[in-house]
Amino acid sequence: MDQEKKWIKAIQKRASEKAANKLISYYYKEIYAFVFKQTFDQELAKDLTQEIFISMLRGIHHYEGKAAFRTWLYKIAKARIIDYYRSKEYKQQKKTVNLLTDQRESDDVLFTIEQKDEVKQVLNLLERFDHENRRIVQMKIFAGQTFAEIAAKLQIKESTVKTKYYSTLRKINEQLKEDVHGH
């Protein structure tokens, strides 16, 4: 994307706050969706996404354009998520959650586990689809983007986005029903 390259150069050469804001706005929902998919926690995903963009801005002077900017940004995101799961904060939070879980009623815990299993099952089914269909569903569900926003970002017709989105959801739903009925 030519506009993306202009923003990057403006940030690198002039530390342009306007270009930085535009670059972050362009990628925010996508990176947030990626982080949320890894954490299943909205507040944590917001915090980590913010940290990812701070890291991106701190390191953008080292970005040389050898790889696509999106690839470079996802590399930062993956590293930050890994760092979080290795952190003392995560380990402490996990202990706290375990203590709280032990105190809850078993029905509440069972419901929470079933809900997480269903989400994981849907995400696993989604992985079976081609990259574009997967991305459309992720952008719509996890990033909350409109069909128009997705169409603009992927540079395809809005009607195509809707068709692929609903078709993918229908196929996932059919597969979930088959799995429940044991076919």
Are 127 and 51 part of one and the same domain?
A: no
DSSP state of 157: -
On whether both 80 and 110 belong to a single domain, the answer is no
- Whether residue 123 is contained in a domain is answered as yes
Domain assignment present for 97: no
Contact residues for 172 (Cβ-Cβ < 8 A; gap 6+): 122, 125, 126
Q: Does the residue 128 lie in any domain? A: yes
Same domain assignment for residues 41 and 117 = no
Output the CA–CA distances (angstroms, integers) from residue 67 to 31, 39, 50, in the order listed: 17, 26, 22
Same domain, 77 and 137: no
Number of structural domains (the chain) is 2
Please report, for the domain that includes residue 7, its CATH number. 1.10.1740.10
Q: Which residues lie below 8 Å from residue 160, measured CB to CB, with a gap of 6+?
A: 151
Q: Are 80 and 55 in contact (CB under 8 A)?
A: yes
Q: How many CB atoms lie within 10 A of CB 63?
A: 16
Token pair belonging to 24: 């972050």
Contact present, 31 and 72 (Cβ < 8 Å):
no
CATH at 168:
1.10.10.10
**Is 91 a member of any domain?**
no
Whether 62 and 123 share a structural domain: no
The closest alpha carbon to 3, from 152, 159, 146, 139, belongs to 152
Token pair listed for 144: 């909350």
Select from 51, 86, 121 the last residue of a domain. 86
* Chain center to CA of 152: 18
- Give the residue from 42, 31, 116 showing the smallest Cα distance to 79: 31
Is the domain of 79 the same as that of 110? no
Answer yes or no: is 99 within a domain. Answer: no
| 62 occurs within a structural domain | yes
State the pTM of this model.
Answer: 0.54
Containing structural domain, residue 157: 105-181
Task: Please state, in angstroms and rounded to a whole number, the distance separating the CA atoms of residues 144 and 29.
Answer: 8
Specify whether 78 is located in the same domain as 136. Answer: no
Task: pLDDT tens for the chain, 183 residues: list them.
Answer: 689 999 999 999 999 999 999 999 999 999 999 999 888 888 889 999 999 999 999 999 999 988 899 999 999 999 998 888 787 665 555 544 444 444 444 445 444 545 566 667 777 788 888 989 988 888 887 777 889 989 998 999 999 999 998 888 888 878 877 776 665
User: How many residues are there in the chain?
Assistant: 183
State how far the Cα of 169 lies from the Cα of 165, in Å rounded to an integer: 6
The pLDDT assigned to 16 comes to 94
